[in-house]
A and B are shown apart, each in its own frame.
Chain A
Amino acid sequence: MTATTLQAEKVAQRHHVRRISDKTIQTAFILPTMVLLILWNIFPLFYSLYLSFTEYSVIAGAPPKWIGFENYRNILSSPLIWKYFALTGRFALLSVGLQTIIGFAMAMIVRAKFRGSGFITTLILIPMMLSPVVVGKFWAMIYNPTFGPLNYLLGMPPPRGPDWLANPQFALWAVVLVDVWMWSPFVMLLCLSGLKAIPEYLYEAAAIDRASAWFQFWRITLPQVAPLLMIAILFRTIEAFKQFDVVMGLTGGGPGDATELVAVNLYRIAFLGRFDTGIASAFAYIVLIIIISISNLYIRYLNQLRGEA
């Protein structure tokens, strides 16, 4: 066999290997991910949708029994559930509203370069890196009227200071404060990236036109940051509707049900000995629909803002 023949054979072998098309390779790479996605995400999504129309407890050993919309009817006709939705809406409004204001203000402050600004920015970001359950437990100690530092700082040492977590009037505010403390840095971070992307010449042009600081803020800073701010608000609103860990760490939903947000109540229905899987699935879908609706509103507004920009 000559060298030329051997070379020709090698080329043929290579061609044989190359017979696997690019599309096959693509499919081979995507397929495992798709299978995992279907098994872990798509299937549970549709299966839980099916379960939401059934009477079913995952631990009962009995198969799901089709009951149509009864779970949805029961949930939507329960005054308690409406109370918890209203409470969650109030929590989201207060918490996200304060986070937006504080986060934006902090971004404006740390935007200016000064000695140690990088270090301060890092320090501000620490709360959002902590575990929410730990934060909940930690703040429960801060709020403690006997030894917690909050009442001392407010000039109300024991026994004069209020028991923040035991009072139905204060408990929700106590949860809001912790959520704001933890997540305002997140809003700040997004706003900061928006602020840093604003071209300097816009301010220079405004300064030449003798525009006031307020005018510059209102007409340049805010519109330029608005898309990122809206993304931050969107994320935080979704999270507010899913708020669970901080509440469980702080109040467990109490006093009574003064801080019983929908995610906490959903957990009680789905687990904690009840295991009403059918009702819990329906409840979860109602929450999902609400979150999707709110998100759509935000996204429409965001697109509108981008269009204007």
Chain B
Amino acid sequence: MSKKLHVLVVLALLVGLVGAFAQPAAAQQPVKELTILWAEWDPATYLAELMKDYEKEAGVKVTVKQEPWGSFLDVVSKEWAAKGTAFDLVVGDSQWLGQAASEGHYVELTDFLTETGLKDTVTEATLKYYAEYPTGSGRYWAFPTEGDANGMAYRKDLFEDPDEMAAFKEKYGYDLGVPKTWAELMDIAKFFTRPDENLYGVAIYTQKDYDAITMGFQNVMWGFGGEWADENNDPRGAINNEGAVQALEFYRELWTCCAPPGSSNIFFPEVNNYFISGQVAMGMNYFAFFPALANPATNPYAESTGYFAMPAGPTGERFAALGGQGMSINAYLPPERIEAAKGLIKWFGREDVQAKWAQLGGYTCNKKVLASPEFLEVAPFNAAFAESMEMVKDFWNVPVYAQLLEVAQRELHTYVVGGEGTAKETLDRIAEEHYKILSAAGLIKEATQ
């Protein structure tokens, strides 16, 4: 019995030794396949299509794994927790940057993006929000991949109907058209809200689960002069300033007066559903979800659907909440896979590849491609998208963003949907709680001095 045990131990040691020596041998093998993880949506399918070209050129097969939006962050987080290598690259949300960079889940790409010149090929806003952490540090952790922002879709058949135009002019004293200000958007939304005809003015984000209502609100808030925090990162006096209070009152009024009943917990699929079913005259959504509205197979109003960038607030300024993602490399990969992943990003950043990416339906962040007439004309919403990318703004990308977001989501939903309290009380509570979270994390400048 003991002899058998000895034999087993020796065998186990041999297997271990073989394994230990075999690993470096395998490491010298060229990488022939890579895996990109992304959320399950159309752009990921376009990326998978694009990656066939990379396989032809570089001989590396790229698999684009798609995870449903609801579990996307969970899957990535579990991989981070396990220091796993289930994916080589991830096209992650901009707000993950702080956590992923400071906790070492992403490979730093500052030198790589600078040396290859890729840093200069993308728009400043996308580099700042999709790649840089800390903000203003010049340190990059991702390559801007899918530019995205909130925009609006509208029913041109209603907006351009002569009877509607005349009635609107008579009622409001100016021409019915794409709203230039939030005040005009409110007028139009009220004008088209006709419950008896099952028609409502606008569908806006209200979902509480992740970041929907916060995203929707900040489109308005920035235009009214509100901010999540001041230059010292102190939220007090910024998120609860007069402009922010007015913006929140506006957002609640817009939802109460003009959103379809039952839209108390909605995000991008529901907004599109309301639009496609003909229940709303306007719909707020990410540009990445507009292809479904431009497709006659999915939207009976596709031919008469127009798109516009977010209107201006009383300050005269216009902002659009940033969506989109950057491509990052998993820091737990062996060196040869990290190099292979960099090779893929280098290829992906090439102008001709970016042009093809845009042609397939991806939202390129490449400056030249964005400005090209081909891009502006290839889809009916691309002009509004290009305009929006000049005015995008994002919320926090710090490691405690999830705590900040939880507070904002809860409080905004309580006021906007639940109708409890006042806008000022709501924003005061957010300011106070955000201050506590940011102070505890040492992210407020005065607090650290």
Contact = CB atoms under 8 A, between A and B. Distances in A.
Given A158-B261, A256-B415, A271 B74 contact: yes
B191 interface: no
Given A159-B195, A168-B418, A272-B210, A254 B402 contact: no
B314 to A, nearest CB: 27
A147 B198 CA distance: 10
A275 B77 contact: yes
A60 to B, nearest CB: 5
A61 B418 contact: no
Interface in A219-273: 248, 251-258, 260, 268, 271-273
Interface residues of A, number: 35
Nearest to B401: A273
Instruction: Give the interface size bracket for B toward A.
Output: 35 or more
B73 A256 contact: no
For the residues of A in contact with B, the DSSP-based class is loop
Interface stretch (B124-132, B148-156, B366-374, B405-413): B405-413
A255 B261 contact: no
A61 to B, nearest CB: 5
Interface in B394-422: 401-403, 405-406, 410-411, 413-415, 417-420
Interface in B224-262: 260-262
B265 interface: yes
B103 A163 contact: no
B264 A146 contact: no
A173 to B, nearest CB: 15
Contact of B262 (A145, A256, A257): A145
A48 interface: no
B261 A159 contact: yes
A254 B417 contact: yes
B264 A254 contact: yes
B80 interface: yes
A145 B418 CA distance: 16
Interface in A248-304: 248, 251-258, 260, 268, 271-275
B417 A255 contact: yes
Interface string A150-180: 0000000011010101111000000000000
B260 A255 contact: no
A272 B73 contact: yes
Given A166-B265, A256-B414, 8 more contacts: A146-B260, A165-B265, A251-B208, A254-B264, A255-B414, A268-B406, A274-B403, A274-B406
Interface of B: 73-74, 77, 80-81, 83, 95-96, 99, 103-105, 195-196, 198, 207-210, 260-262, 264-265, 279, 401-403, 405-406, 410-411, 413-415, 417-420
